[in-house]
Each structure stands twice: as structure tokens, then as C-alpha cells.
Amino acid sequence: MASLTQLPVPPSAPARPAVSPRPRTKGPGRTRPNFLGGLGGWLWLAIIIVPVYYVVMTSLKNQAGFFTSNPMMPPAEPTLDNYKLVLENDFARYFANSLIVTVGSVIPALLVSFMAAYAIVRGKSRFLNWTNNLFLLGLAIPLHATIIPIYWMITRAHMYDTLLALILPSVAFAIPISVLILSNFMRDVPNELFESMRLDGCSDWAMMWRLALPMTRPAVVTVGIYNALGVWNGFLFPLILTQSPETRVLPLSLWTFQGEFSVNIPAVLAAVVLATLPLLVVYVIARRQLLSGLTAGFSK
Amino acid sequence: MSTTSGSSRRALQPGPSGWLAAPALAFFLLFAIIPLIGVLFLSFTSWDGLGEIKLDGLSSWTTVLTDPVTGNALLVTAKIMFFSFIVQAPISLLLGVFTAGGQKYRAALAVLYFVPLLLSSAAVAIAFKALLDPNFGLGAGLGLPFLAQDWLGDSDLVLFVVVFVIAWQFVPFHTLIYQGGVRQIPASLYEAAQIDGAGRVQQFFNITLPQLKYTIITSSTLMVVGSLAYFDLVFVLTGGGPGYATRLLPLHMYLTGFKANDMGAASALGVILVVIGLALALLLQRLGGKNRNASQLEGA
């Protein structure tokens, strides 16, 4: 089951991503340039970039400029007033809320999923088998379907309109995919390594942290990134489980901002830019890790 | 899933305790499985979201099943599922192959391709709402009357606009999955094909496509089951309108529950959503063959 690209490495060294950034595989068509492919590639780039360009340019226009200038042209007099307006409208609080909810969901989800994946892969009991099947079933269920009972539970537990109300279901819904990816990677850790550690008298708890964790690091990173993106950008739970500005997270703030400032399109788009900026910064800094992590996790 | 060596000795070892899986299981039972049972229960009650929950037999089901809006929501969901799959699958596959190539310019393009992954659905929806405005958007900017239509107000066009925006947002993720899949195809296969004189198109159909079988299944499953979850994007972009033109099943459920305050009927819609999701996932698994963990490298 171990793929050829994943060779055993000593447990002390951090495991390499299953797919190295520069693969030996060059893909088809190294002999002569692929003009058709290149054309398609540039076309898709245009499709991706035009909306982004429009949003950034418009966010730098003042309202009068927006109504009079050509929508696709850069502003004659660029202004940051829209950004100021957004920042003055409690942007920092929404940002902090998003950060708390994301970190508060992703770390516990990683921890419990990792432990579960270790038990499922290394253990052999009917209970674990049953647990694994339940998680696999969870992958097929559209989670939106459960919002009404969740709303009922959260209101009953007097957690409505708190950040904890967003964190708890987010953790639960992150578990199935996390366990799946982590256990797929954990199966590729050679059994001999576990055996030799066991002969040295290591407990399962110690093997989990000292062998399984370093060996599955790319998967842990993948799962962390994937879940963080999902929670950070999540909209449905905040929409139904929170209400006041004190608990508002960024995606929901965009929506309410759009309601309040519907005529001021440049300001609404400035809010879009500001809400995306934190992730863009992360992307620029950790791009390689992010992309190779996601690739490794899902193509197994 | 057994490993080649040490299996006989491993049978003597106790293996990790099932308790390691308990925290993940507890979270998942509490916030996913219990709500799943809850949604079935609530579909036999009447509840306005605030007052008491009263058992009400099949009345919610009668309401939902006789309401023409339900049938329409199912139809809209099916259409969006079909069209977004038809649009996304080939584009993601081709872009995945394209970005897996070793060329520098492709790597640079890939960096930009993945920017939509960073945006929340709310942000994407707000950006496109502005961009598609007939007076202040793309059409007016480029001076092309064809692009200056009332994209979101025309009930014949709006469905395809939604499909396009969905593709814009989700193709990057699936491209990433395919890119990872292509990079795991052994270079030896292409080298052998080149020696045999196979052209680029032949290599694509005879090597790349069959080798990507499991990647295609993974990506397609995520795409199809995922299209039951296009809630936030459509909610912010069109609100389900104009009329009922883009009122997808999950959106219909939300509006029935939280806007029309009929939680019983909304729960019945939730049950329908779960059943469709499970049926689709099972169908796709069956189509793809059972042993998904089998090596993709067979015959290499």
C-alpha cells in the first residue's frame, strides 16, 4: 500500500511530503511545447484574475468615482477611505473572533482526530472498526442537513450567540475527513518501526507522539490547513448560531456590511479585500507547504 | 491493510486502547450523529424555533411533499449538480495535468490559480454580485453589451451564472487534487510510451486518464456530494432568486426553517437532503469499485 514515493525515513527526521515539489514525473509532453495547453492555462488565469482585479481596483475608488469612471479602469485618484471606513466598523473584533473560532476548532479537531486515527490504524477491535465506519459514513452526509437540531441543542445549552457555539460543531464536522486523511498516511508507516519501539519498551502513547506524529507530519499539516480554511470561511454556523456584533466572524460581517452599506459598493469590496488579506498573507508566506500539503493529503 | 512482516507477532500484541478514539467519537456522536437522528425526529413535529416542540405526525411531510417549491428545489439542485460537474470536472482535470508539468511558467500560473481557495463564499458572492452588475461591472467596463446583461435578475440566465461562480470558486481545489494525482504517475510509463512513439493525446488517454481512476472518483465524489452544500454562495449571491430560480434544497431548508419559522418542514427537507447525499455517495463508491485503498501504481 505504501506508494513508491514514500520511502521509510528515520523517525527522528521530519517526514517528507509524499509528493516532492519537483517530481521526477515531468508529465506528458516534454518533447515540444504544448501551445494548446498553454493557451488554456493563460485563459484560465484571466478568468481567475479579472474578478480579483476588479475588486481591488473598485475598493480604491471613492463613491463618486465608482459611478462615473469605467469599472475596469484603475481609479484616477486612488483612496484608502473605504478601508478606513471598514476598519472603523469593528473589523478588528470580527478578525479576532474568526481567529479564536478557527484556532479553537482546528487544534482540538487535529488532536482528537490524530489519536483516533492512531487507534484505528494500530488497533484491532470491533469497536474501532465500527468507529471508523461511522466516520466514513459522516463523509457522505451533507452537514447542512443537521443545522436545525444543532440550533436546538445550542439554544438549549444556553450557548446561542457565543463563540463556543461555533467551535463545538466545527470540531465535530472536521473529524471524518481528518481521520480519513491521517489514517491513510499512518498506514504507510512501516510496522517494523513500531515493533522496534515496542521492543524498547515504549507504550502506545509514546509511540503515537514520537513515531506516528513525525512520520505523518505532512498529513497533519494538510488536515490543519484544510480545516482552518473551512472554519475561517464558514458562513452557515455563524449565520444560525450567532446574532450580535460581539460574536460576529469575518464572513458574516461581509454579509451584514453589505446590508448596511449596500449603496457603497467600493466600501463593501474593501471589506472583501480586508477579510481575505490575512489568508493571502499566510498563502504568500507558506505557499509551498500549503499546496504540497493539500496535494499530498487528497491524492492518496 | 496488513503489512508484509511482523503480522504474526503483532497478533500477540494488545494494540492501542480504543479509548484513544473516544474523544473524537464523543464529539462526532454529540454534534453530528445525534443531530442526524434529531432531524428525523423533528420532521414529525411542529416547531417555530422558539416555542415548544409538539409532535405532529406526518403533517410536516405532507406540507413538504405537496409543496411545488420542494419539487422545484430538487430540480434546481439536480441541475446545478449536473452542470457544475460537467463544467468543473474536465477543467480541473486538464488544469491538474497542466500544472503538474515541470515548466516554470506553469508553476507560476499555479500559484495564482489557487487564490480563489482563500476567499470565503460570502466574499466570492459579493465580488461577483458587483462584477456582474450591468451598469457598473464587467460589461460596462469592457463596453461589451453581451456582458452587460442582467445576469442575476434573469431567471433563465441566473442558473448558469451560479454554475460559473461555483466553478470559479471550486475548480482550484479539484485542480490541486488532480495535480497531486498526476504527480504520482510513474515517469517510466510516459518514457515507455514515448519510445513506442505515442503522441501527447494518446499518452493522455492511455496513461494519464486510466492512472487517475481513483483521483477521478475522489474528486467526483467530493464535487457531487459537495454540490448539496452550495448554501452560502447562493444565499449571498442570489438569495435563491429571482423568484425560485436558484432556490437549492439546502437554501430552501434554511429559508423554510429560519425565515418562515417552520422547523418541522425544514427538518423534513433536511432528511431528504441526507438521503440524497448518502445515496449519491454510495452510488459513486459502487461505480468506482470497492477497494479504493488498492495501489494506484499497479502495473508500473
Q: Does residue B148 or residue B86 have the better pLDDT? A: B86
Among the residues of chain A, which ranges form H helices? 35-59, 63-68, 81-88, 91-122, 126-140, 147-156, 163-186, 191-199, 204-207, 213-215, 217-232, 236-241, 250-260, 265-285, 287-298
Q: CB B187 to CB A251 under 8 A?
A: no
Closest CA to B110 of A277, A77, A257, A48: A48
Closest CA to A16 of A25, A4, A24, A6: A6
Q: CB B120 to CB A250 under 8 A?
A: yes
**What tens digit of pLDDT does each residue of B46-81 get?**
888 888 888 888 888 988 898 899 999 999 999 999
Domains of chain B plus CATH, in order, are 69-287 (1.10.3720.10)
Residue B226 corresponds to which cell in the numbers above? 459537495
Among B10-19, B125-134, B234-243, the range scoring the smallest mean pLDDT is B10-19
Rounded Cα–Cα distance for residues A213 and A208 (Å): 6
Compute the count of residue pairs across chains A and B with CB atoms less than 8 Å apart.
368
Residue A168 corresponds to which cell in the numbers above? 463545538
Residue A278 corresponds to which cell in the numbers above? 490575512
pLDDT at residue A62 in the model: 83
**What tens digit of pLDDT does each residue of B250-300 get?**
999 999 999 988 899 999 999 999 999 888 888 887 776 544 443 333 333
The complex scores an ipTM of: 0.83
A176: nearest CA partner in chain B: B28
Q: Which 69-108 residues of chain A touch chain B by CB within 8 A?
A: 70-73
pLDDT at residue B11 in the model: 45
How many DSSP H helices and E strands does chain B contain? 16, 2
pLDDT at residue A259 in the model: 84
B25/chain A closest Cα distance in angstroms: 7
pLDDT at residue A22 in the model: 43
Residue with cell string 466514513: A136
Chain B within 8 Å of A45 (Cβ-Cβ)?
yes
pLDDT at residue B272 in the model: 94
Residues of chain B contacting A48 with CB distance shorter than 8 Å: 112-113, 115-116, 168, 172
What is the average per-residue pLDDT within B166-190?
Answer: 88
The torsion angle over the Cα atoms of residues B151, A62, A68 and A46, rounded to 10 degrees, is: -50
Residues of chain A contacting B203 with CB distance shorter than 8 Å: 28-29
Beta bridge partners of B46: B54
The torsion angle over the Cα atoms of residues B6, B10, B12 and B18, rounded to 10 degrees, is: 180
Q: Which 3-42 residues of chain A touch chain B by CB within 8 A?
A: 3-5, 18-19, 22-31, 34, 37-38, 40-42
Burial readout B175-189 (b: 16 or more C-beta within 10 A, e: otherwise): bbbbbbbbbbbbeeb
What is the average per-residue pLDDT within B128-146?
Answer: 78
pLDDT at residue A299 in the model: 58
What is the average per-residue pLDDT within A116-125?
Answer: 88
**Does residue B209 surpass a pLDDT of 80?**
yes
Residues sharing a CB contact under 8 Å with residue B175, sequence separation 6 or more, in sequence order = B91, B92, B95, B96, B99, B113, B114
**Does residue A50 surpass a pLDDT of 60?**
yes
